[in-house]
Amino acid sequence: MQVRTVRASSVKEAMEQIKDELGSDAVLLHTKKYREGGVLGGAEMIEVTAAVDETQARVPHAPSAYVPPAAPILPSNVLNQYRMNEQVPYDTAMPARSAMPAYDSYAGEPPAYSAHEMPAYAADGYVPTAPSVPPQTAAIPPVPPSAPQVQETPAASLYASEPVSPVVQGLDEPVEDVPTDGSAERIRLLEDELAQMKTMLASMMAANQPKEIVSIQDALRRQDVRAELCEDLASKVPVADVNLDSLDPRAASVLSGYLAQVMKFTDGLHVGAHGSRVVAFIGTTGVGKTTTLAKVAAHFVLEQNLKGALITADTYRISAVEQLKKYAEILGLPVEVVYSAADLRKAIARHRSKDFILVDTAGRSQYNEFQMDELKELLAAHPRMEKHLVVSATTKEEDVGEIMARFSACKPDRIIFTKTDETRTVGMVVNLLAGGSLPLSFLSNGQSVPDDIIPATAERLAELLLRK
């Protein structure tokens, strides 16, 4: 397969370059707008990436016809739909520019199809050879034959980083959009077909790679990331990037860009300039709440030279108070033990001049309603208390999902995954947080205080997912 990327000042010029280099059977993979040069942004440029199967006969740059490929790499109904033919003269006059239906990135009259090549969306009422004109524009006279012709913008531009407007040949300004009934559905169908096409191309390219190369998608599958998220990745990034070797320096950047789209991150915990930041760590028993609290406290004291206080409500676990007191002694921080919401309220008031106040809570079973009600009452002691839900990466994904659902009654603001060093797969983090509103704040990867904790960013999670 040959892949080419060209840059030009207009869509028309880019299309001509693609046809000259790859022929009329080239399939568009990606387009985007950017600016080049100049103090104020420079001139607007178009970047187009296209590919063609090397086994296909190269189609000469002809104005009227193309040679069908000997061995098409895609189903004929999809490939024929997006072939880059020259504009065929219209049999009927085009409506006035102001009366043209708006198809967003799709402008001009669709190409004609034979019965066996009819696209899948024809059943929805879309008739390629006779596009209808909205009733309110039917009375507008047609454009005279001398009017400039409209050049089709390829449908693949729907997946450009910025949509490329339809361009009128000989004019610089884009065609004005006019609402048309059913256009949204047609665009959705086109987007679905394009996503499928990109996934197919990615799979075909991956099949031709050496076995020793582990692509980004393969690395995610090894991390137990769900198949639908792997497919979503393939539809949102360029095909060539999907099949990058996971050890390639660019792989982490590609994956982090995708993660930033589907997840939320807070890059750890930051203390504001006004007032004390009160943070409580909640979760089930044995997930590492106390150790995580100590790591965060050590970061504030040793690296930022901040003043704080530690409070523990974990009076149920043996030696829990002694453990926190030991950490507090090393860091030079005061520590208080509370038994109720009233005690917690008073302790927070005593340390309101501090930069931060970290609250350790007892481990609670997500299935024990009494314990959950007790925890909710404790957390209500301060109106601006920030709650971090701590879960272990070694827990089964189904159980973590249940924990998140049950602890949602406590309205957690952030989530922390601990013990990432004790499992080979962390895809659960992506599976549970993709498309959700709960941000990831920390990733813990060991017992050492204060070293083994990572402020969560898309880049750091990508590196963790791509590890061997």
pLDDT digits (tens, 9 = 90+) for 209-222: 555 578 888 899 99
In a domain, 200, yes or no: no
Residue 25 within any structural domain of the chain: yes
Nearest alpha-carbon partner for 98 in 199, 168, 21: 168
Contact 383, 342 (CB under 8 A): no
pTM higher than 0.75: no
Separation between Cα atoms, residue 290 and residue 359, nearest integer Å: 9
- The pLDDT tens digits for 430-457 are 999 999 999 999 999 988 888 899 999 9
Query: Is the residue at 116 inside a domain?
Result: yes
The structural domain count of the chain equals 3
Asked if residue 23 is part of any domain, the answer here is yes
240 & 359 share domain = no
Is the peptide bond prior to 450 cis by the omega test (within 30 degrees of 0)? Answer: yes
Given a cut of 80, whether residue 283 has pLDDT beyond it is yes
Q: Which of 191, 221, 246 is the last residue of a domain?
A: 191
Over the chain, what is the mean pLDDT?
Answer: 75
Task: Answer yes or no: do 225 and 88 share one domain.
Answer: no
- What amino acid is encoded at 7 in this protein? R
In terms of domains, do 228 and 329 share one? no
Residue 318 lies in a domain: yes
Do 318 and 172 have their domain in common? no
**pLDDT at 150 (0 to 100):** 44
Q: Do 73 and 159 reside in the same domain of the chain?
A: yes
Domain hosting residue 430, numbered range: 277-465
The winner for highest mean pLDDT among 62-71, 103-112, 129-138, 383-392 is 383-392
Compute the average pLDDT of residues 346-355: 94
* pLDDT greater at residue 408 or residue 133: 408
- The per-residue pLDDT for range 123-175, each reduced to its tens digit, is 444 444 444 444 444 444 554 544 444 444 444 443 344 444 444 444 344 44
Q: Are residues 381 and 242 in the same domain?
A: no
Residues in the chain, overall count:
468
pLDDT at 60 over 50: no
Residue 43 within any structural domain of the chain = yes
Q: Has residue 181 got a pLDDT over 80?
A: no
Tell whether the model's pLDDT for residue 426 goes beyond 90: yes
Last residue of a domain, one of 191, 217, 247: 191
Does residue 204 lie in a domain region? no
Statement to judge: residues 146 and 235 lie in one domain: no
The per-residue pLDDT for 168 is 41
- Range with top average pLDDT, 24-28, 66-70, 350-354: 350-354
Tokens linked to 160: 């450009």
Same domain, 187 and 215: no
Do the domain assignments include residue 424? yes
Pair (63, 165) in one structural domain: yes
Instruction: Order across the sheet with 440-444: list the strands.
Output: 335-337, 308-312, 356-360, 277-282, 386-392, 414-418, 440-444, 453-455
- b/e per residue 221-255 (b: at least 16 CB within 10 A): ebbebbeebbbbbbbebbbbbbbbbbeeeebbebb
Q: Are residues 340 and 443 in the same domain?
A: yes
Same domain, 254 and 118: no
* pLDDT for residue 336 is more than 80: yes
- Of 158, 191, 224, the last residue of a domain is 191
Per residue in 356-394, pLDDT tens?
999 999 999 999 999 999 999 999 999 999 999 999 999
Q: Is 27 in the same domain as 136?
A: yes
Whether residue 295 has pLDDT greater than 90:
yes
